[in-house]
Chain A
Amino acid sequence: MFMEENMILQVENICKHYQQFALNNVSFALPKGAIMGLIGENGAGKSTTMKALLGMISLDSGKISIFGHEGITAQDREAIGVVFDELAFNQTMNVSDIGKVMKNVYRNWEPEQYQQYLEKFKLPQKKQIKDFSRGMKMKLSLAVAMSHHAKLLILDEPTSGLDPVVRAEILDLFLEFIADGESSILVSSHITSDLERVADYITFVHQGKVLMSKNKDDILYSYGIAKADRETIHSLNSSLVMKIKDGKYDSEALIRDKESFSKQYPNVLVDAISLDDLMVMLCTD
């Protein structure tokens, strides 16, 4: 299914059933040196997918390969940096305490690198974490995740609740991280504009299923939204239309191939699409 040697992470048909929710045959592959954005509405299955990747939950079926082999070992964990939406350390600790803890957790821990990140992020050494802003806590999480020679970062909502300046700094850091061509990032986010800026691939999860997992530029360049009156929209060639949404006065159709569509329907206006538009079109009835 995938070119295995180029992939840092491969997820094949994973299933996990809960009483109220299920992951159904989730599949995607993340190449080396790339950033993949995991998008979807709340409860779509993004976090559950990440938990499955990290071995936090057992799978009912399916296969996950990280660093070219199936399953996740303690050695793999040495090379995976994880950021959850909340900092997991006791907040009476300071960054220096955390450094001492992590030095004894990761064999490849780099105190100098950690120190560099702390200085870069202007995080005070002796201040208790509880006095940090949300942006500072997120920067600290990233500093920890990136100070042990990680090859894969798995980040769950790392930019939520942060102001645009901090987000921009963090996104630049992501780009620096993958610059060696060997390291990759899987990041879930509701702030799709961030992903439009840095992601190479987008995997869209909806109700526990992968609706699409594609190159971001392919999505943004080939998909579009056709807008016209209801009659025109409903008469369009169904092979080009992914979804139709009827408004009060007119209708919109999600088009999968803008170029072919424009050739076939030169008189129908097609707007460029954003990831937000795509989500709204595909997630609403």
Chain B
Amino acid sequence: MKGLILNDLFSTKKMLRTLVFIILVFDVVWGSMGQPEAASVITSVMCISYFLNLFSYDEFYRWDKYAVILPVSRRQIVLARYAVTGLFSLVSLLVSAIYLLVMRVPLGDIAGILGAALLVHLYAAGIEIPMCYKFGTQKSRLLLMLMMFIPFGLFGGFAMLFQQAGLSLPTDIIPFVIIGAAVILGLGMWLSIHLSVRIVSRKEY
């Protein structure tokens, strides 16, 4: 599995340099405008959507076809992809944390931003990876937009309704909402891995 992870990292090393440059530009621009939180959100979104490039490379160079003839199981192929995606997520969170600390954003806000980013990462990867295996990258990119829109649309819609009705979410249940969301996303991730392994195991190349 280590070889597969290394392959993904070597495959993206050139693009990663470009990504780092873009993130730096965003950080400087948004930071100078006094909105480091926005830069951090963009960093997070860019990093998590980066795993889609790995699937594009797989399809373009036919690495997916080659990987199945190597002495690794199809389960390992899938787990390696989740591991690399997790690594991207972790690095982006770390970079965001350092950036927000340097920009002297309050610790409570940093925790909130990073927690939200982590939830978004889990949701995006959990939904998107099996879709990439099943439908390919092109279709999955469009589906990702749709899948991202649904929960955030619903969340925004409810928030607006609450606001219009003059209601507010009791603050004492917020930790339970976060924990509940984390549990659901954790289970979702387990289901996502299980589904991806199933799709790849049955796939013919």
| Contacting residues, chain B, for A87 (C-beta < 8 A) | 61
Complex CA–CA separation, A74 to B204 (angstroms):
17
Most chain A beta-carbon neighbours within 10 Å: one of B10, B14, B72, B73: B10
* Known contacts A74-B73, A102-B3, A90 near B62 by CB under 8 Å: no
| Chain B 40-71 near chain A by CB (<8 Å), digits 1 or 0 | 00000000000000000100011101101111
| Contacting residues, chain A, for B204 (C-beta < 8 A) | 51, 56-58
Most chain B beta-carbon neighbours within 10 Å: one of A57, A82, A90, A101: A90
Within the complex, the shortest CB–CB distance from B179 to chain A, in Å, comes to: 38
* Known contacts A90-B10, A101-B7, A51 near B66 by CB under 8 Å: no
Interface residues of A in 82-109 (CB under 8 A from B): 82, 84, 86-93, 97, 100-107
Interface residues of chain B: helix, strand, loop or mixed (majority) = helix
A75 close to chain B: CB less than 8 A: yes
Complex CA–CA separation, A58 to B6 (angstroms):
29
Complex CA–CA separation, A77 to B7 (angstroms):
18
Partner of A88, one of B13, B14, B62, B72: B62
A90 touches B11 (CB 8 A): yes
| Chain A 146-167 near chain B by CB (<8 Å), digits 1 or 0 | 0000000000000000000000
Interface residues of A in 68-84 (CB under 8 A from B): 74-75, 77-78, 80, 82, 84
Within the complex, the shortest CB–CB distance from A15 to chain B, in Å, comes to: 15
Complex CA–CA separation, A91 to B15 (angstroms):
12
Complex CA–CA separation, A93 to B3 (angstroms):
14
A54 close to chain B: CB less than 8 A: yes
B66 touches A90 (CB 8 A): no
Partner of A80, one of B10, B62, B69: B69
A77 touches B65 (CB 8 A): no
B176 close to chain A: CB less than 8 A: no
A101 touches B3 (CB 8 A): yes
B199 close to chain A: CB less than 8 A: no
Q: Shortest 8 CB-CB distances between A and B: which pairs? A: A88-B66, A104-B3, A105-B3, A90-B11, A77-B71, A56-B205, A97-B10, A104-B2
